[in-house]
Amino acid sequence: MSIKTIILDWAGTTIDFGSFAPVDAFMSAFKAYGINPTADETRAPMGLAKRTHVAMMLSGERLAAEWVAKYGKPHMEADIDAVYEKFEPALLSVLENYAIPLPNVLDVVAQIREMGIKIGSTTGYTRQMMDIVAPLAKENGYTPDYLVCPEDVDGKGRPYPYMIWRNLEELGCANISEVLKIGDTEADMQEGKAAGCLSVGILIGSSVLGLSESELASLSQSRKDELFVTARQRYFASGANFVIESVAELPKLITTIGG
């Protein structure tokens, strides 16, 4: 087996260390309606299409109960739309600050291209959001060969496989066994599994860890190890085939798989 195509996620994998832009926007949108999600509740559906993310949060037991306590009845589809309508402008207003490539990403992408491997990408962001992020990431040195957003596949983003398959169609990849999906959320692993390709979870910079660079650096090694063990378990439970600490390990992993 040799890898000829990789599919990278964006926030938390290649840009936006810790995937903080969407977290802040989701929490702001919910608070506008008097609902106060925790960071863990906010991150749990990360990687899904953003309206689906809102729906998943509102379906959680605690937040669903908080909504009923606040409004006297369970949330409806119109309520999901209302929260999403608060979320979208909140995110759009800050995205330009979160398009810096993560450490090692530019070097790794260069190495992978030298190996003759094509680089596709999928995201939970809408096309409007990526129209902000992608050009700024390109200015900062990072651009994949192709990008697919949920609306490009009729809204069937993660955990459906269609964004990966659309990449493969565009990039001319004929064999799913030659594809590696890389991401930082459980939804990324589910997407890869559904598509039938190998999947890799990344720890450093990920939404699964949910830590900034300074927060991660401040931890003792023993605490890091504890968090890494938990994150690995979440990735593998969601369908990951491999978990690596840093994107810097990706070229070696690709070589090992092909060896």
The β-bridge partners of 122 are 148
Q: pLDDT digit string (tens) for 37-73?
A: 999 999 999 999 999 999 999 999 999 999 999 999 9
How far apart are the two ends of the chain, measured CA to CA in Å? 8
Mean pLDDT within 88-108: 96
Q: pLDDT digit string (tens) for 168-211?
A: 999 999 999 999 999 999 999 999 999 999 999 999 999 999 99
Judge whether residue 134 has pLDDT over 80.
Answer: yes
Judge whether residue 20 has pLDDT over 90.
Answer: yes
Query: Quick one: tokens of 33?
Result: 């309606």
% of the chain residues with pLDDT over 90: 98
Q: C-alpha distances in angstroms, 143 versus 49, 52, 213?
A: 21, 26, 22
Active-site hit among 4, 16, 50, 188: 50
* 24 given a catalytic annotation: no
Smallest CA-to-CA distance from 199 within 214, 184, 209 is with 184
In single-letter form, the type of residue at position 57 comes to: M
* 50 given a catalytic annotation: yes
pTM assigned to the model:
0.92
Active-site hit among 4, 9, 86, 118: 9
Torsion (CA) 162, 53, 235, 61 in degrees, nearest 10: -140
Average pLDDT, the chain: 96
Judge whether residue 259 has pLDDT over 90.
Answer: no
